[in-house]
Amino acid sequence: MTCLALFTPSESRWHDALVSAVHGHDLPLQILRSDPGDEIPQAVSGLAPLSLVGALVEGRDSQIASYGAAPRREAEAEEAGRVDALKVQFGAVTGNYLWPEAMRTAIEHAGFSGARVLWLGDAAPGLRDALRTVRAVHVWQSSPTAGEAILQLLPAPQRGRVLLNQAQVEAMMVEVDLVVYAGGGLPLGILQPYHGLFALREPPLQDAYLAVEQVISPGYFLQVYLSRLLTWVAEIDLPPDAFALHGGHGS
C-alpha cells in the first residue's frame, strides 16, 4: 500500500475528492490527512523516513511554508514561490507547483489554446506559466499601474491592453475569446454567447454561466488540478471526473 500525505487545513476542499478517486478506482493508495500548522518543515523532513511517496499541500500559507522547507524545487515552484506537491525520490524530497499546469490543461481541454484572454482580478502565482499557450492577455484593473504590473509578468508578445472601466472592456470584448475570472466584479453585460468563461472562483452572479457558450467552472478546474497533482506525485493518471465533488457548478 502506497501512502500519500495531504497537508491541509481543517476545512479541506481536496480530501473527499481524493478519497473518492482512490475508492472509485480501487487504488492501492492511502490518503493520510494532516494539518501540520507551523510544523511544515518537520512534516516535510518526515516524509522519506515514514516511507511516504510524497504529499499534496492545500492552502496558501502551507504552500508558501512548504516552498521554504523543500530541499529541492522544480522551476515552476521557484517561479511561483510556493509548493503544492512534494515527491520523495531516492530518499530526497522535491517540491513542485502544479497549479499552472492544471490551468494550461483546462484551457487546452476546453479548446482555448491560442485564445485571446481577458483577465479579471488579481494576478496569480505562476501566471506566466499558466497562460503560456494563449495568444494575448488583456487585463481589467482599477489603475494603469496595477494593470501593467500583471502584464509585466507575461512575455512581451502576449501583453495586451490595460482596461480601466466597463466601457473600455465592452469595446474590447469582440477581440476576446476567453474571460478568466479570478475575483472582483463581473458585469454580465461584458459577456457574449461566443465567449468562454474560466471561473477560478464562483462569480458574483450565477447567471454568468448562462451568458456564455462554454464554462470552465471552479469545480471542474479543481478536478483537473487534483488529477495533475496525483499524476506528478504518485504517478497515477486519472481523468478529472474521477474526483467526485459535492455541490458547486459543473463544467
pLDDT at residue 248 in the model = 47
Q: What is the pLDDT of residues 5-54, one digit of tens each?
A: 999 988 899 999 999 999 999 999 999 999 999 999 999 999 999 999 99
Q: How crowded is the C-beta side of 115, counted as CA atoms within 13 Å?
A: 25
Map out the domains of the chain as residue ranges. Answer: 2-97+220-242, 101-212
What pLDDT does residue 150 have? 97
Question: Low-confidence residues of the chain, pLDDT below 70?
Answer: 247-251
The residues that bridge with 3 in the sheet, in sequence order, are 30
d(CA 122, CA 3): 36
Which three cell numbers, joined as nine digits, stand for 134? 494563449
Are both 2-97+220-242 and 101-212 of the same fold? Answer: yes
Q: What is the pTM of this model?
A: 0.95
19-32 burial: b if 16+ Cβ within 10 Å, else e: bebbeeeebebebe
Give the rounded distance of the alpha carbon of 134 from its chain centre.
Answer: 16
Domain 101-212, second-level architecture = 3-Layer(aba) Sandwich (3.40)
CATH 3.30.390.30 fits 2-97+220-242, yes or no: no
pLDDT attached to residue 149: 97
Distances (CA, A) of 231 to 102, 122, 190: 11, 28, 37
Decide: helix, strand or coil at residue 139. strand
Quote the CA–CA distance of 226 and 250 in Å, as a whole number: 16
